[in-house]
């Protein structure tokens, strides 16, 4: 497909810092080209302090919208006109749609996780799930799974920095969705083992095991991995974490965070263009 920037080309992009490493420009620009959509996607290194003025420019310049990464996902909320239900419950925005100057914030990180789980044969609706962690990735994945009909979600987190965030996550799910949630100390191996035994999906949404600390795992006792349990990691570097390897050795199906990244982008693309990202092409080109 011929691809030319012209007087009618609309732009959007990624706001945050750092952004130079991001796969999003490649994913979105390839998709625009493949589908013949007259748009481009760029990466802008923007700190939280400069976010408000940048968003105001994006609003005025007829952009289709933009993505946000750290440290802008929470800071952007005050500059927006509206939030999707998921973005409101998660308290963070990774995608903004600009409709004639009106800015609506969405969070597609959880959608990306749920979509990648479905692709790996996991049914969220009606399921019992254990989620490790209470940071941004955990919040997005757990809230989206609750909105998508998960029956019960056990959150396990360390009693440290993010313990109050974990309590807030559990309260939000219990108050705002039909799903039941509870909170466990990640160090309480007895309760954690019981929750994992009752779960069909274990989601590691902590950064434990991420490169360069690849020897670390949030689950100290691998005997908790049972047949019928799918074990997933939101981490994608390395592609196979220690947690995934130990679960796989005990017969569990496993998947990493690569397709969460892909499908959060695909969901943003659909919000901006109304069209499906050519995901098979994107997988082949950037995720294989
Ligand atoms: P945050 O810093 O917001 O949260 C990290 C969470 O992990 C906290 O609950 C933290 O607990 C916990 N944690 C960190 N180290 C350990 C450890 N050694 N043992 C147990 N718990 C630990 O990070 P994010 O939620 O933004 O990111 C988490 C991971 O998700 C990262 O690896 C990131 O790359 C990945 N990610 C992947 C995405 C994808 O598209 N695939 C999207 C977003 C994130 P504490 O407060 O105690 O430190």
Q: What's the mean per-residue pLDDT of the chain?
A: 97
How large is the C-alpha radius of gyration of the chain? 19
Q: Give 137 Cα–ligand 1 centroid separation in angstroms.
A: 7
Catalytic status, residue 73: yes
Q: Give 39 Cα–ligand 1 centroid separation in angstroms.
A: 33
CB of 215 closer than 6 A to ligand 1?
no
| Phi, psi (deg, nearest 5) at residue 235 | -70, 140
Q: State the average pLDDT over residues 77-105.
A: 98
Looking at residue 59, its pLDDT comes to 97
CB of 233 closer than 6 A to ligand 1?
no
ω into residue 99 within 30 of 0, thus cis? Answer: no
Whether 2 has a pLDDT exceeding 70, the answer reads no
Top mutation candidate among 120, 137, 264 for ligand 1, by most atoms within 8 Å of CB: 137
CB of 234 closer than 6 A to ligand 1?
yes
Top mutation candidate among 206, 216, 234, 287 for ligand 1, by most atoms within 8 Å of CB: 206
Q: State the average pLDDT over residues 77-86.
A: 98
CB of 218 closer than 6 A to ligand 1?
yes
pTM of the model: 0.96
Confidence of residue 269 (pLDDT cuts 50, 70, 90): very high
* Nearest residue by C-alpha to atom 12 in ligand 1: 206
Burial of 159 (0-12, 13-18, 19+ CB in 10 A): exposed
Whether 3 has a pLDDT exceeding 80, the answer reads no
Backbone region of residue 205 per phi and psi (left: phi > 0; alpha: psi in -120 to 50; beta: other values): alpha
Looking at residue 288, its pLDDT comes to 87
149, 125 Cβ separation under 8 angstroms: yes
Q: State the average pLDDT over residues 133-152.
A: 98
Q: Please, what's the largest Cα pairwise distance for the chain?
A: 63
pLDDT tens digits, 240-263: 999 999 999 999 999 999 999 999
Looking at residue 142, its pLDDT comes to 98
CB of 68 closer than 6 A to ligand 1?
no
pLDDT tens digits, 170-202: 999 999 999 999 999 999 999 999 999 999 999
Spell out the CATH class of 110-256: alpha beta
Pick the CATH number of 10-107+262-287 from 3.30.70.920, 3.40.50.2300, 3.40.50.10860, 3.40.50.1000: 3.40.50.10860
- Boundaries of every domain in the chain: 10-107+262-287, 110-256
């Amino acid at each position: 497909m011929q691809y030319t920037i012209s007087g009618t080309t609309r732009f959007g992009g990624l706001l945050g810092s750092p952004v130079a490493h991001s796969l999003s420009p490649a994913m979105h620009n390839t998709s625009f080209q493949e589908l013949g959509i007259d748009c481009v996607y760029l990466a802008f290194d923007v700190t939280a302090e400069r976010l408000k003025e940048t968003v105001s420019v994006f609003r005025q310049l007829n952009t289709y919208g933009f993505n946000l990464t750290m440290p802008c996902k929470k800071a952007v909320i005050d500059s927006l006109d509206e939030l999707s239900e998921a973005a409101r419950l998660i308290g963070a925005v990774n995608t903004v749609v600009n409709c004639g100057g009106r800015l609506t914030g969405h969070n597609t990180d959880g959608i990306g996780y749920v979509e990648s789980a479905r692709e790996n044969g996991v049914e969220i609706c009606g399921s019992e799930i254990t989620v490790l962690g209470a940071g941004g990735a955990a919040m997005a994945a757990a809230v989206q799974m609750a909105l998508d009909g998960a029956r019960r979600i056990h959150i396990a987190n360390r009693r440290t920095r993010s313990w109050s965030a974990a309590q807030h996550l559990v309260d939000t799910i219990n108050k705002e969705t039909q799903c039941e949630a509870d909170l466990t100390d990640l160090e309480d191996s007895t309760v954690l083992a019981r929750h994992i035994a009752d779960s069909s999906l274990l989601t590691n949404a902590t950064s434990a095991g991420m490169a360069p600390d690849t020897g670390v795992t949030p689950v100290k006792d691998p005997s908790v991995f049972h047949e019928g349990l799918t074990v997933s990691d939101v981490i994608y570097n390395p592609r196979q974490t220690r947690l995934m390897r130990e679960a796989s050795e005990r017969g569990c199906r496993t998947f990493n965070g690569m397709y969460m990244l892909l499908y959060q982008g695909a969901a943003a693309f659909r919000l901006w263009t109304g069209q499906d990202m050519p995901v098979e092409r994107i997988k082949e080109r950037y995720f294989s």
